[in-house]
Amino acid sequence: MAPTQSFSDPFSLDTRLRDTGLFFREAFRTFRATGAVLPSGPVLANHLARFVAEREDPTAPLRIMEAGSGTGPVSRAIAAAMQPGDALDLVETNPEFATYLRGLLETDPALSRVAEQSTVHQAPVTDLGTDREYDVIVSGLPFANFTAEEVREIFDYYFTVLRPGGHLSFFGYLYTKEIKAIVASRHDYLRQAQSSWVVEEWVNRYGIESKRVLPNIPPAWIHHLRKPAKD
Protein backbone atom coordinates (compact mmCIF):
# COMPACT_ATOMS: atom_id res chain seq x y z
CA MET A 1 0.00 0.00 0.00
CA ALA A 2 1.27 3.51 -0.79
CA PRO A 3 2.13 5.57 2.27
CA THR A 4 0.00 8.60 3.16
CA GLN A 5 1.50 11.53 1.27
CA SER A 6 1.73 15.16 2.24
CA PHE A 7 4.18 17.51 0.63
CA SER A 8 5.45 21.02 0.89
CA ASP A 9 8.56 21.18 -1.31
CA PRO A 10 8.99 18.53 -4.04
CA PHE A 11 12.78 18.67 -3.75
CA SER A 12 12.88 18.79 0.06
CA LEU A 13 14.93 16.30 2.01
CA ASP A 14 11.71 14.74 3.39
CA THR A 15 10.30 14.17 -0.08
CA ARG A 16 13.55 12.70 -1.38
CA LEU A 17 13.93 10.43 1.65
CA ARG A 18 10.37 9.17 1.31
CA ASP A 19 10.75 8.51 -2.46
CA THR A 20 14.12 6.85 -1.87
CA GLY A 21 12.72 4.59 0.88
CA LEU A 22 9.99 3.21 -1.38
CA PHE A 23 12.35 2.94 -4.36
CA PHE A 24 14.95 1.07 -2.35
CA ARG A 25 12.36 -1.40 -0.97
CA GLU A 26 11.03 -2.11 -4.46
CA ALA A 27 14.56 -2.39 -5.91
CA PHE A 28 15.32 -5.02 -3.28
CA ARG A 29 12.11 -6.92 -4.12
CA THR A 30 12.24 -6.62 -7.95
CA PHE A 31 15.79 -5.68 -8.97
CA ARG A 32 15.57 -6.94 -12.55
CA ALA A 33 12.63 -4.62 -13.38
CA THR A 34 13.70 -1.69 -11.18
CA GLY A 35 17.33 -1.70 -12.28
CA ALA A 36 18.65 0.83 -9.75
CA VAL A 37 18.74 1.28 -5.99
CA LEU A 38 18.12 5.03 -5.95
CA PRO A 39 15.76 7.31 -7.88
CA SER A 40 17.37 9.61 -10.46
CA GLY A 41 18.74 12.90 -9.10
CA PRO A 42 17.49 16.33 -10.27
CA VAL A 43 20.37 16.97 -12.73
CA LEU A 44 19.71 13.73 -14.63
CA ALA A 45 15.94 14.32 -14.42
CA ASN A 46 16.28 17.80 -15.98
CA HIS A 47 18.47 16.46 -18.81
CA LEU A 48 15.84 13.81 -19.54
CA ALA A 49 13.08 16.44 -19.70
CA ARG A 50 15.05 18.51 -22.23
CA PHE A 51 12.69 18.12 -25.19
CA VAL A 52 9.67 19.08 -23.10
CA ALA A 53 11.47 22.28 -22.05
CA GLU A 54 13.03 23.05 -25.46
CA ARG A 55 10.10 22.83 -27.82
CA GLU A 56 10.49 23.47 -31.53
CA ASP A 57 7.12 25.22 -31.75
CA PRO A 58 6.33 27.03 -28.46
CA THR A 59 2.63 27.26 -29.39
CA ALA A 60 2.07 23.54 -30.19
CA PRO A 61 0.97 21.28 -27.30
CA LEU A 62 3.13 18.20 -26.69
CA ARG A 63 2.05 14.58 -26.26
CA ILE A 64 4.55 13.12 -23.81
CA MET A 65 5.18 9.60 -22.54
CA GLU A 66 7.41 8.69 -19.63
CA ALA A 67 8.10 4.95 -19.47
CA GLY A 68 9.25 3.58 -16.11
CA SER A 69 8.39 6.54 -13.87
CA GLY A 70 9.25 4.82 -10.56
CA THR A 71 8.75 7.30 -7.70
CA GLY A 72 8.51 10.24 -10.12
CA PRO A 73 11.78 12.27 -10.06
CA VAL A 74 11.81 12.58 -13.86
CA SER A 75 8.03 13.04 -13.95
CA ARG A 76 8.49 16.12 -11.74
CA ALA A 77 11.07 17.60 -14.14
CA ILE A 78 8.74 16.90 -17.07
CA ALA A 79 5.81 18.46 -15.17
CA ALA A 80 7.84 21.60 -14.46
CA ALA A 81 8.37 22.10 -18.22
CA MET A 82 4.79 21.29 -19.28
CA GLN A 83 2.44 23.92 -20.66
CA PRO A 84 -1.38 24.07 -20.78
CA GLY A 85 -2.62 21.67 -23.49
CA ASP A 86 0.26 19.20 -23.12
CA ALA A 87 -0.66 15.60 -22.22
CA LEU A 88 1.48 13.20 -20.20
CA ASP A 89 1.22 9.40 -19.98
CA LEU A 90 3.17 7.91 -17.07
CA VAL A 91 3.73 4.19 -17.68
CA GLU A 92 4.89 1.93 -14.90
CA THR A 93 4.71 -1.86 -14.45
CA ASN A 94 5.20 -1.95 -10.69
CA PRO A 95 1.79 -1.57 -8.97
CA GLU A 96 3.36 -0.02 -5.84
CA PHE A 97 4.97 2.73 -7.95
CA ALA A 98 1.80 3.21 -10.04
CA THR A 99 -0.29 3.73 -6.88
CA TYR A 100 2.34 6.08 -5.50
CA LEU A 101 2.38 8.12 -8.74
CA ARG A 102 -1.44 8.44 -8.64
CA GLY A 103 -1.07 9.81 -5.11
CA LEU A 104 1.63 12.26 -6.27
CA LEU A 105 -0.73 13.58 -8.96
CA GLU A 106 -3.17 14.53 -6.19
CA THR A 107 -0.79 15.94 -3.60
CA ASP A 108 2.71 16.67 -4.89
CA PRO A 109 3.12 20.40 -5.75
CA ALA A 110 5.05 19.73 -8.98
CA LEU A 111 2.79 16.95 -10.24
CA SER A 112 -0.63 18.12 -9.03
CA ARG A 113 -0.17 21.17 -11.27
CA VAL A 114 -0.45 18.85 -14.30
CA ALA A 115 -2.85 16.25 -12.80
CA GLU A 116 -5.64 17.06 -15.27
CA GLN A 117 -3.21 16.56 -18.17
CA SER A 118 -1.70 13.30 -16.86
CA THR A 119 -2.63 9.61 -16.81
CA VAL A 120 -0.90 6.79 -14.96
CA HIS A 121 -0.93 3.45 -16.81
CA GLN A 122 0.03 0.42 -14.76
CA ALA A 123 1.36 -1.82 -17.56
CA PRO A 124 4.50 -2.78 -19.46
CA VAL A 125 5.06 0.05 -21.90
CA THR A 126 4.69 -2.13 -25.01
CA ASP A 127 1.14 -3.09 -23.84
CA LEU A 128 -0.09 0.46 -24.42
CA GLY A 129 -0.75 -0.32 -28.08
CA THR A 130 0.12 1.49 -31.26
CA ASP A 131 -3.07 3.57 -31.68
CA ARG A 132 -1.32 6.58 -30.10
CA GLU A 133 1.38 9.07 -31.05
CA TYR A 134 3.92 11.04 -29.02
CA ASP A 135 6.12 14.06 -29.66
CA VAL A 136 8.45 13.22 -26.78
CA ILE A 137 9.24 9.88 -25.10
CA VAL A 138 11.36 9.78 -21.95
CA SER A 139 12.44 6.29 -20.99
CA GLY A 140 13.73 5.23 -17.57
CA LEU A 141 13.69 1.52 -18.36
CA PRO A 142 16.71 -0.49 -17.15
CA PHE A 143 17.86 -1.84 -20.52
CA ALA A 144 21.02 -3.25 -18.91
CA ASN A 145 18.80 -5.78 -17.09
CA PHE A 146 16.84 -6.85 -20.17
CA THR A 147 17.57 -9.33 -22.95
CA ALA A 148 18.54 -8.07 -26.42
CA GLU A 149 15.11 -9.21 -27.71
CA GLU A 150 13.29 -7.21 -25.01
CA VAL A 151 15.36 -4.10 -25.75
CA ARG A 152 14.70 -4.41 -29.49
CA GLU A 153 10.97 -4.84 -28.91
CA ILE A 154 10.86 -1.70 -26.72
CA PHE A 155 12.86 0.48 -29.19
CA ASP A 156 10.67 -0.78 -32.05
CA TYR A 157 7.63 0.20 -30.01
CA TYR A 158 9.01 3.66 -29.14
CA PHE A 159 9.80 4.39 -32.78
CA THR A 160 6.33 3.18 -33.84
CA VAL A 161 4.49 5.54 -31.50
CA LEU A 162 6.94 8.45 -31.86
CA ARG A 163 5.84 10.96 -34.50
CA PRO A 164 8.28 11.69 -37.32
CA GLY A 165 10.61 14.39 -35.96
CA GLY A 166 9.82 13.40 -32.33
CA HIS A 167 12.45 12.81 -29.64
CA LEU A 168 13.34 9.87 -27.40
CA SER A 169 15.57 10.49 -24.35
CA PHE A 170 16.83 7.66 -22.14
CA PHE A 171 19.61 6.86 -19.70
CA GLY A 172 21.72 4.08 -18.26
CA TYR A 173 24.52 3.87 -15.72
CA LEU A 174 28.21 4.24 -16.49
CA TYR A 175 30.55 1.25 -16.08
CA THR A 176 27.83 -1.42 -15.64
CA LYS A 177 29.53 -3.64 -18.26
CA GLU A 178 32.92 -3.29 -16.55
CA ILE A 179 31.40 -4.07 -13.13
CA LYS A 180 29.48 -7.05 -14.52
CA ALA A 181 32.70 -8.36 -16.09
CA ILE A 182 34.00 -8.74 -12.53
CA VAL A 183 30.95 -9.69 -10.47
CA ALA A 184 28.38 -11.27 -12.82
CA SER A 185 28.12 -14.78 -14.24
CA ARG A 186 29.40 -15.27 -17.78
CA HIS A 187 25.81 -15.77 -18.93
CA ASP A 188 24.63 -12.48 -17.39
CA TYR A 189 27.67 -10.60 -18.71
CA LEU A 190 26.98 -11.84 -22.26
CA ARG A 191 23.27 -11.03 -21.98
CA GLN A 192 24.08 -7.45 -21.00
CA ALA A 193 26.71 -7.12 -23.73
CA GLN A 194 24.12 -8.21 -26.30
CA SER A 195 21.43 -5.86 -25.00
CA SER A 196 23.93 -2.96 -25.00
CA TRP A 197 24.71 -3.68 -28.68
CA VAL A 198 21.02 -3.19 -29.48
CA VAL A 199 21.04 0.14 -27.61
CA GLU A 200 24.19 1.17 -29.53
CA GLU A 201 22.57 0.20 -32.83
CA TRP A 202 19.64 2.60 -32.20
CA VAL A 203 21.95 5.35 -30.92
CA ASN A 204 24.14 5.00 -34.02
CA ARG A 205 21.09 5.18 -36.27
CA TYR A 206 19.11 8.01 -34.65
CA GLY A 207 21.29 9.61 -31.94
CA ILE A 208 21.59 13.41 -31.92
CA GLU A 209 23.40 13.88 -28.61
CA SER A 210 24.96 11.71 -25.90
CA LYS A 211 26.51 12.87 -22.67
CA ARG A 212 27.70 11.71 -19.28
CA VAL A 213 25.82 12.98 -16.24
CA LEU A 214 28.31 12.69 -13.39
CA PRO A 215 26.29 14.49 -10.65
CA ASN A 216 24.01 11.46 -10.17
CA ILE A 217 24.27 8.39 -7.97
CA PRO A 218 25.36 6.30 -9.75
CA PRO A 219 26.82 8.45 -12.58
CA ALA A 220 24.85 8.01 -15.77
CA TRP A 221 24.97 8.42 -19.53
CA ILE A 222 22.08 9.90 -21.43
CA HIS A 223 21.17 9.64 -25.10
CA HIS A 224 18.79 11.81 -27.11
CA LEU A 225 17.45 10.28 -30.35
CA ARG A 226 15.31 11.84 -33.05
CA LYS A 227 12.98 9.96 -35.38
CA PRO A 228 13.62 11.26 -38.92
CA ALA A 229 10.95 13.63 -40.19
CA LYS A 230 8.89 12.49 -43.20
CA ASP A 231 10.29 13.67 -46.56
Question: Where do contacts with ligand SAM occur on this chain (CB under 6 A)?
Answer: 33-36, 39-40, 67-70, 73-74, 91-94, 97, 124-125, 140-142
Query: By C-beta, is 164 or 194 nearer to ligand SAM?
Result: 194
Query: By C-beta, is 33 or 162 nearer to ligand SAM?
Result: 33
Query: By C-beta, is 62 or 65 nearer to ligand SAM?
Result: 65
Least CB distance from residue 9 to ligand SAM, whole Å?
Answer: 18
Least CB distance from residue 101 to ligand SAM, whole Å?
Answer: 10
Q: Give, in degrees to the nearest 5, the angle at Cα 209 between 124 and 159.
A: 35
In Å, how far are 8, 27, 136, 157, 222 from 168, measured between CA atoms?
31, 25, 6, 12, 11
Q: Give, in degrees to the nearest 5, the angle at Cα 121 between 159 and 88.
A: 65
Query: By C-beta, is 125 or 162 nearer to ligand SAM?
Result: 125
Least CB distance from residue 99 to ligand SAM, whole Å?
Answer: 12
Are 168 and 158 in contact by the 8 Å Cβ rule? The answer is: yes
* Alpha-helical regions (H) of the chain: 13-29, 31-34, 42-48, 50-53, 73-81, 95-107, 109-112, 148-161, 176-183, 186-206
Least CB distance from residue 229 to ligand SAM, whole Å?
Answer: 27
